[in-house]
Amino acid sequence: MINKIFSPIIIFSFLLMGCKENTAYKEQLKDPVLFQSAMKKLSDVIVYDIFSPPVASRVYMYPSVASYAIMQKAYPNKYNELEGQLKDFSAIPEPTDENINLHLASFHAFTVVGKALIFSEQKITDFQIETYQNLQKAGLPDKVLEVSKEYGNKVAKHILNWSKGDLYDQTRTYSKYTIQEEDRFWKPTPPDYMDGIEPHWDKIRTLVLKSADQFPPIPPLEFDLTKGSEFQKQLMEVYEKGQGIDAESKEIASFWDCNPYVSHHRGHAMFATKKITPGGHWIGITAIATREANSTFDETINAYTNVSIALFDAFISCWNEKWRSLVVRPETLINQYIDEQWVPLLQTPPFPEYTSGHSVISRAAAVCLTNIFGDNFNFLDTTELEFGLPNREFKSFIHASEEAAISRLYGGIHYMMAIDEGVKQGEKVGDYIINNLHTSKIK
């Protein structure tokens, strides 16, 4: 009799357990790892596709803004809209379906915009498919996935339409730099003597800065190879540092090389190694900072967005000066007038010397990160580990930016004037951005 009474109860209990909703996906959508993985995938594709440093900053920025714009809709009391803060930016469409998961839509918009800006689209598509399949296994309802993707697509379209006004497409058709014969002007450098990269990048629309030339550095030193002149002293400093460089300086130079394409020549054979860009390194540092600070999903997106905007505007500011002053690289003068066999530790990148891009963009990014995470944020920089370089520890973001700057002297590719003035330029860019871009309502 007891068995007859309890059997239906037991069966009913099992039925309830079988019908219990799988809601694991909800926690996965709140986990910042979801967005971190999307940013890492984008970084990997940027390396694979070999984007130049300025162009890479654009590829990081637009997807980040897309994700932030949607994320802000989920936390309107915590974050400000970007309309009125970024040049020509208009409000995104409002979410209208109650089934939309804004975290998922934010992720989707990021990947859609990112895919539109790179070459290897299938890599992002495969990543999307894998991510959505895993979420569905964790219980994500088809309806939620469908409407969240639809909303993400709407916002992605809005962001991509906005991006068309930045003159990127138009500058693809502008003329190349014409080499000028005087010694003081930049010329292509060994081993590949590549054309100058992005000579018209100063035409790209800034986001927060009023213009590309808002923060011009002081003019570079007067070109003068007379022994004892300030310019000649700085040229000799580069040469002599390269002649007797110590192990620590070599390690620092290599760690911050961040050259997306380094060619190697062995007789008639040539091969290349790919690395993360300078901006990509600071995106990596942002990833480390958000993990160390236990940032939430929304806080992670906020940090990436601020840093990517700073990098984007900093590259425009720096490139404006590079292609205005056209300062010759140390390697060119050393080979011509001092030692024709001399080779810098790092491969000289194909654009003018003044100011140092590493100095400008690193300081701007460091100022923004300091504004978010504080002054004394000690961290272990593991960004270059996957490229075969050891980790380095820093006591602050500013400390890291200072090492990034001086690394260019150790690498034999910059005079000290470009490093010192580049840091000042980057500081001004960073300060202006944190004082004029207000994403967070809570300090």
One domain for residues 211 and 145? no
Percent of the chain with pLDDT over 90: 91
Q: Is residue 172 part of a domain?
A: no
Distance separating alpha carbons of residues 134 and 132, to the nearest angstrom: 5
Q: Does 276 share its domain with 343?
A: yes
Give the length of the chain: 443
Asked whether residue 316 is domain-assigned, the answer is yes
Can you give the CATH number for the domain in which 400 is found? 1.10.606.20
In a domain, 279, yes or no: yes
Tell me, yes or no, whether 214 lies in a domain. Answer: yes
- pLDDT category at 3 given cuts 50, 70, 90 is very low
Average pLDDT, the chain: 94
Residue labelled with tokens 């491969």: 347
Q: Residues 61, 198: one domain?
A: no
Exposure string over 275-299, b if 16+ CB within 10 A, otherwise e: bbbbbbbbbbbbbebbeebebebbb
Evaluate if residue 197 carries a pLDDT over 90.
yes
Q: Given the structure tokens 């799988």, which residue do they identify?
A: 22
Domain carrying residue 41: 22-163
- Tell me the pLDDT tens digit for each residue of 107-126: 999 999 999 999 999 999 99
Mean pLDDT on 242-255: 96
Please determine, for residue 223, whether its predicted confidence score (pLDDT) is greater than 90: yes
Residue 403 is predicted with a pLDDT of 99
Determine, yes or no, domain membership for 4.
Answer: no
H/E element, 306: helix 297-325
- Clarify whether residues 157 and 195 are in a common domain: no
328 token code pair: 């010759």
Tell whether 196 and 335 lie within a shared domain. yes
Q: Do 142 and 186 share a structural domain?
A: no
Is 398 a domain residue?
yes
Buried/exposed code over 96-127 (b: 16+ C-beta within 10 A; e: otherwise): eeeebbbbbbbbbbbbbbbbbbbeeeebbeeb
Q: Tell me: pLDDT of 4 over 50.
A: no
Mark whether 122 and 217 lie in a shared domain: no
User: What pLDDT sits at residue 374?
Assistant: 98
Encoding tokens for residue 423? 């840091």
Whether pLDDT at 313 is above 90: yes
**How many alpha carbons lie under 13 Å from residue 327 in its C-beta half-sphere?**
26
Domain boundary at 163, 193, 212, which?
Answer: 163
Which of 163, 197, 212 is the endpoint of a domain? Answer: 163
Task: Give the pLDDT of residue 12.
Answer: 42
Q: How many CB atoms sit inside 10 A of residue 307's CB?
A: 28
Q: State residue 272's pLDDT score.
A: 64
Residues 229 and 120 placed together within one structural domain of the fold: no
Summarize the confidence of residues 75-84 as an average pLDDT: 98
Closest among 374, 433, 363, 361 to 400, alpha carbons compared: 363
Q: Look up the CATH number of the domain holding residue 146.
A: 1.20.144
The tokens for 304 are 């990436």
State the pTM of this model. Answer: 0.94
Residue 214: is its pLDDT beyond 60? yes
Question: For residue 400, how many other CB atoms are within 10 A of its CB?
Answer: 24
* Domain count for the chain: 2
Q: Round to whole Å and give the CA distance between 391 and 96.
A: 46
Same domain flag for 159 and 191: no
**Residue 361 sits in the same domain as residue 404:** yes
**pLDDT above 90 (res 271):** no
Domain match, 234 and 108 both: no
374: left (phi over 0), alpha (psi -120 to 50) or beta: left
| pLDDT tens-digit readout, 8-28 | 444 444 444 444 668 899 999
In a domain, 3, yes or no: no
Q: Do both 97 and 194 map to the same domain?
A: no
pLDDT over 70 at 179, yes or no: yes
Query: CB under 8 Å to 386, separation ≥6 — which residues?
Result: none
> 317: how many CB neighbours lie within 10 A of its CB?
31
Average the pLDDT over 177-188 and give the result: 97
Do residues 203 and 308 touch, judged by C-beta distance below 8 A?
no
pLDDT band per the 50, 70, 90 thresholds, residue 442: confident
Q: Is residue 74 part of a domain?
A: yes
